Amino acid sequence: AQSVTQPDIHITVSEGASLELRCNYSYGATPYLFWYVQSPGQGLQLLLKYFSGDTLVQGIKGFEAEFKRSQSSFNLRKPSVHWSDAAEYFCAVGGYNTNAGKSTFGDGTTLTVKP
């Protein structure tokens, strides 16, 4: 069974500081990995995804993530955080088999940005 762990429930960073949100996954084959962001009162928006090729993927809003198979990790990073990045971030894993259907989401990490 596939699963996702986001070890940090809540992270606070200062505006302009760098950010790294951790994600560890469990999946028995080649995973599809995703990061989504949820602003207050909104649905989730896809930030970036990985399914093959270069292990460092770029996404929207200046975010990037690195897939490390040896560590079963897919950590999200941003070099300089803006106040508008305050939101909840979800990591998700989906099946390689396109018939596998649904993705499994982590419990999320809430990001607070200090001025």
Partner 1 sequence: GAGVSQSPSNKVTEKGKDVELRCDPISGHTALYWYRQSLGQGLEFLIYFQGNSAPDKSGLPSDRFSAERTGGSVSTLTIQRTQQEDSAVYLCASSTGTVRDGYTFGSGTRLTVV
- What residues line the site for partner 1 (CB under 8 A)? 32, 34, 36, 41-46, 49, 51, 90, 94-108
Evaluate the CA torsion angle 59, 62, 58, 68 in order and state its sign.
negative
Cβ of 90: how many Cβ atoms within 10 Å?
22
CB of 23 to partner 1, least distance (A): 12
How far apart are alpha carbons 65 and 22 in whole angstroms?
Answer: 10
Cβ of residue 99: shortest distance to partner 1, in angstroms? 8
Compare residues 9 and 115 and give the one whose CB is closer to partner 1: 9
Nearer to partner 1, 32 or 74 (CB): 32
Smallest separation, CB 46 to partner 1 (Å): 5
Nearer to partner 1, 18 or 61 (CB): 61
Q: Between 3 and 84, whose beta carbon lies closer to partner 1? A: 3
Q: Distance (Å, rounded) from C-alpha 93 to C-alpha 69?
A: 13
Hey, what are 6's tokens? Answer: 């986001």
Q: For residues 106 and 91, give the distance between their C-alpha atoms in angstroms, rounded to a whole number.
A: 5
Shortest Å distance, C-beta 48 to partner 1: 9
